[in-house]
Amino acid sequence: MASEPLLRVEDLRLHYRSGNGVVRALDGVSFDIRRNEALVVLGESGCGKSTLAKALMRLLPRNVQHFSGNLLVDGVETMGFSEERFRREVRWVRISMVMQAAMNALNPVIRVGEQVAEPLRVHRGWSARQARERTAEVFGLVGISADFLQRYPFELSGGMRQRAVLAMALVTEPDLVIMDEPTSALDVLTQASIMNALKRIKQELGTSFILITHDISTSSEIAERVALMYAGQLVEFADAKDFFGEPAHPYSKLLMASVPRLHQEETPVHIPGQPPNLLDPPEGCRFAERCPSRFDRCDRDPETFRIGNRRTVRCWLHAAGSRV
């Protein structure tokens, strides 16, 4: 079982109906994550990152039209699980998440400690006292005083709430925590201290993290693997040092060049154009319109090619690599 990744996602598709037609928010996303690994999912706004986070937890929108693919947890296919089984066996037991709007992720009329302890009471049937003691421990781990257990969410600052939500995600010691933009609403100092807490937790608990963000600089601190999304598809998936050192997909290259750096004269590059409309994505490569290296083959949808052992790229430029 050692070779089996903690989570394997194969050809995940999620389409939903909107007033104007079917939005293809996820269109064939595949990746995997191992134990105690930090995967960063990058991408522009609207490329399907948050949809991916929710799809992994099977939190589908009400107007879902199509949901398919494989979701293997420790080699066990969970797509066939009933709603009830998925709730009991996967949610918060194997995978937990910190949602994008963590500020509003706490019920305003229930004490913070109780909300954080709730998964223990529900999934493990612990007594209130037991759950409270464990919650106090986890509060210490994420850097909040146990005094805050008795507070209501509105009595906490933004950073404190974010930490409380993080504590909630960790309280049942899941194998994987998905974090959707966990720090983008916070000031830089709070961001840094939360990223440090994450690193420490990863070391102490051996938890895997999927960090979904558009903030390349902050995420590079913790990333071991990077997946880059564009228009509902994964365009590059690689080790962090390879991705940041030598991006392979034209979009990855432009994205890296657009990050402003200290002590550097060049102005950051701006990528002309906009991501395609997911209501009616273009045939062929979805990035072709904005791509400087575009050529004839880009009219056809690119396949995903493997470069070396640990990198895949969805681009015809890399057709020399083996197909996936």
Contact residues toward other proteins (CB under 8 A) are 54, 57, 59, 62-63, 87-88, 90-93, 96-97, 99, 101, 104-111, 113-114, 117-119, 121-123, 128-129, 132, 150, 152, 154-155, 165, 168
Contact (Cβ atoms closer than 8 angstroms) between residue 131 and residue 85: no
Closest approach, Cβ 187 to other proteins, in A, equals 21
| Full strand arrangement of the beta sheet holding 233-239 | 95-98, 176-180, 208-213, 38-42, 225-230, 233-239, 311-313, 305-307, 322-323
With respect to other proteins, which residue has the nearer C-beta, 59 or 324? Answer: 59
Structure tokens at 224: 């071991």
Contact (Cβ atoms closer than 8 angstroms) between residue 316 and residue 304: no
CB atoms within 10 A of CB 146: 15
Closest approach, Cβ 95 to other proteins, in A, equals 9
Closest approach, Cβ 320 to other proteins, in A, equals 42
With respect to other proteins, which residue has the nearer C-beta, 20 or 154? Answer: 154
Residue 49 gets the label, from left (phi > 0), alpha (psi -120 to 50) or beta, of alpha
For 312, the 3-state DSSP assignment is strand
Closest approach, Cβ 215 to other proteins, in A, equals 20
With respect to other proteins, which residue has the nearer C-beta, 121 or 294? Answer: 121
Closest approach, Cβ 108 to other proteins, in A, equals 6
With respect to other proteins, which residue has the nearer C-beta, 53 or 255? Answer: 53
With respect to other proteins, which residue has the nearer C-beta, 114 or 224? Answer: 114
Q: What does the alpha-carbon distance between residue 20 and residue 129 come to, in Å, rounded to a whole number?
A: 51
With respect to other proteins, which residue has the nearer C-beta, 62 or 263? Answer: 62
Query: How far lies 26's CA from each of 136, 148, 175, 234, 292, in Å?
Result: 38, 39, 24, 9, 25
Closest approach, Cβ 53 to other proteins, in A, equals 10
Q: What does the alpha-carbon distance between residue 119 and residue 172 come to, in Å, rounded to a whole number?
A: 7
